[in-house]
Structure formats: structure tokens, C-alpha cells
């Protein structure tokens, strides 16, 4: 082999490694890691946002949860390869498109899940146990729960509750009942709008993509969303009324109402409910409302 051929071989090897690394990172779905920002909620509302140690613990917890979720996403994609091939956008995922081999993806997932779970226990036994419960819930969802009508969205909701609980336990604060009920309602809202978006976009192919979708219909989902939306708003409103004696958190209610109505508008007209993170990051009014809500909450809790 000449020197030029050897150089070309090394360049090809590096390029192939870089390409696989990029595909593996894509499989981790980093855009969806924004969901793990929910771990920050107990930090903010418990008044510990200015405590460096608490901020560090929650930040590490969010990183570990993101990596854990990413590894579990790979397993879900591996189980759904054939169904994803029939989807208009999911067919572009590394596994469904055939760009990444299944053994390589599963090996990578096993390493990421093992390391992130082990790291979770370094933040305390309660946090580690919650991370393990989260993994068990996601695996159960991927294997069979996602095919069971209504229970599928409750499993998604339970995952959000576990995120919130993890954020509380890692800084040694109690899990507020209001945090739990608000998280359940909001995540059900997101889960039901996601199911609606799937049926609306897939139409006759919806059942072949996910068996549970044969039991849903647009009218039924609209009724469910009509129940969950006011329930979410009412729970948050009641929380702001009881959170403190001066009721100033109630000033944030209009922002929550606007945010949910804007999301419903986007879900109906823009068909983005299938990916809430895309709706949040891609729509300036919605993102502005969320940022203003966060700023108002921090200002009221810490500086007013």
C-alpha cells in the first residue's frame, strides 16, 4: 500500500466513524431533552434557585435523565423500525432509513443506559430509584403499553411525573401534590394532542403505525382534550392561589392560558403536536410566552 493509499484509508475510516457518531447522537433525540427541564421546577418553586449546590445537583440530574431517555429512545426506535418506515417523517430516522445498523445502535443504547443509570445513583438512592422506575416505565411503554388505548397517554404522563419527582428528591425537598397534579394534567394535554396529530397526519395508515390508534378518533380525542385543557388551567390556577398568602403567582395565569391556546392553535393549523419540542422552539409567540412565564415566576418567588 502506498503512502497516498494509506492516507486515503485513514481519511475514509475517520469519515465513517464521524458519520456513525452523528447518527448515534441523532438516535438520542437531543431536541427532546428539553422535556427534562421539568426537573428544574421543584428547584424554582422550592426557593433553591440561588443555592449553587442545589443547582449543580439538578443540572447533573437533568443530564443523566437526558442520556437515559436517549438510550431508551434507541430501544423504542429498534422496536418500531417497520412502523417508522411507513411514517412520513419517522422514516428518516437512522434505524428506519437503514443508515445505522441495528447491532451498533443497540450496543450504544446498552452502554448509555447502563452508564446513566449508574450515574443517577451517585446523586442519591431516591434519585437513582426514580431513574430506574422511569426506565422501567419507558421500556414497558415501548414493549406493550403504547398499544393500549388511554393507558398509553397515562404512561407518558407518569414519565413526566417521575421527572418532576426526581427534581424534588435530588435537592431533598418534598414532592408537592400540586406539582404532581399539574404535571399529570399538562402531560395528558400534550399526549392527547400528540395522538390527535398522529391520526390527522396518518389518516388511514394510523392503525398500521400504532395499534392503539384504531381505538382513537378525532371526535373522541377532541372531547378528551376539551376535558384536560380546562382541568390543567384550573389546577394551575388553584395552585397559584394556595402557593403563598399574597396570591401574586396568580398574575402568571394569563400567560399559561395563552400558551395552551397557542399550542392548540399550532396543533390544529400547523400540525406540530406530534413534536412538542418543535412547537416550542419553532414558534416565537409560544416560546416568548413560556420565557415570560419563567421570568415572572422567578421574579415573584425570589424578588417580590
Mean local confidence (pLDDT), 200-224: 77
pTM: 0.88
**Among 13-27, 157-171, 221-235, 259-273, which stretch is predicted with the lowest mean pLDDT?**
13-27
Fold topology of 24-175:
Tetracycline Repressor; domain 2 (1.10.357)
pLDDT digits (tens, 9 = 90+) for 53-78: 999 999 999 999 999 999 999 999 99
pLDDT at 220: 93
Residues of the chain with pLDDT > 70: what percent? 89
pLDDT at 231: 96
Domain ranges in the chain are 24-175, 176-304
pLDDT digits (tens, 9 = 90+) for 93-127: 888 888 888 888 999 999 999 999 999 999 999 99
pLDDT at 212: 73
| Cβ proximity of 179 and 45 under 8 Å | yes
Higher pLDDT, residue 15 or 301: 301
Residues of the chain with pLDDT > 90: what percent? 56
Beta-carbon count within 10 A of 285 CB: 12
Amino acid at each position: 500500500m502506498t503512502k497516498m493509499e494509506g492516507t486515503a484509508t485513514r481519511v475514509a475510516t475517520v469519515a465513517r466513524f464521524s458519520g456513525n457518531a452523528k447518527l448515534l447522537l441523532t438516535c438520542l433525540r437531543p431536541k427532546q431533552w428539553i422535556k427534562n427541564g421539568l426537573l428544574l421546577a421543584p428547584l424554582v418553586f422550592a426557593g433553591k434557585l440561588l443555592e449553587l449546590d442545589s443547582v449543580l445537583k439538578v443540572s447533573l440530574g437533568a443530564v443523566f435523565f437526558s442520556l437515559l431517555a436517549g438510550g431508551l429512545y434507541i430501544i423504542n426506535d429498534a422496536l418500531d423500525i417497520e412502523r417508522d418506515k411507513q411514517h412520513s417523517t419517522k422514516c428518516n430516522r437512522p434505524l428506519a432509513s437503514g443508515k445505522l445498523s441495528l447491532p451498533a445502535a443497540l450496543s450504544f443504547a446498552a452502554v448509555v443506559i447502563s452508564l446513566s443509570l449508574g450515574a443517577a445513583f451517585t446523586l442519591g438512592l431516591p434519585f437513582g430509584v426514580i431513574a430506574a422506575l422511569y426506565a422501567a416505565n419507558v421500556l414497558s411503554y415501548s414493549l406493550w403499553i403504547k398499544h393500549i388505548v388511554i393507558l398509553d397517554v397515562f404512561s407518558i404522563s407518569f414519565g413526566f411525573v417521575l421527572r418532576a419527582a426526581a427534581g424534588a428528591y435530588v435537592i431533598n425537598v418534598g414532592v408537592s401534590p400540586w406539582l404532581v397534579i399539574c404535571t399529570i394534567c399538562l402531560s395528558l394535554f400534550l399526549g392527547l394532542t400528540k395522538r390527535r396529530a398522529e391520526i390527522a397526519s396518518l389518516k388511514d395508515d394510523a392503525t398500521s403505525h400504532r395499534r392503539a390508534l384504531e381505538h382513537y378518533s378525532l371526535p373522541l380525542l377532541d372531547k378528551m382534550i376539551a376535558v384536560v385543557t380546562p382541568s390543567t388551567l384550573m389546577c394551575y390556577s388553584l395552585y397559584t392561589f394556595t402557593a403563598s398568602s399574597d396570591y401574586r403567582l396568580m398574575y402568571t395565569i394569563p400567560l399559561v392560558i395563552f400558551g395552551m391556546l397557542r399550542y392548540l392553535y399550532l396543533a390544529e393549523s400547523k400540525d406540530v403536536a406530534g413534536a412538542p419540542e418543535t412547537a416550542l422552539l419553532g414558534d416565537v409567540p409560544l416560546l416568548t410566552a413560556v420565557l415570560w412565564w419563567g421570568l415572572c415566576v422567578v421574579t415573584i418567588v425570589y424578588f417580590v
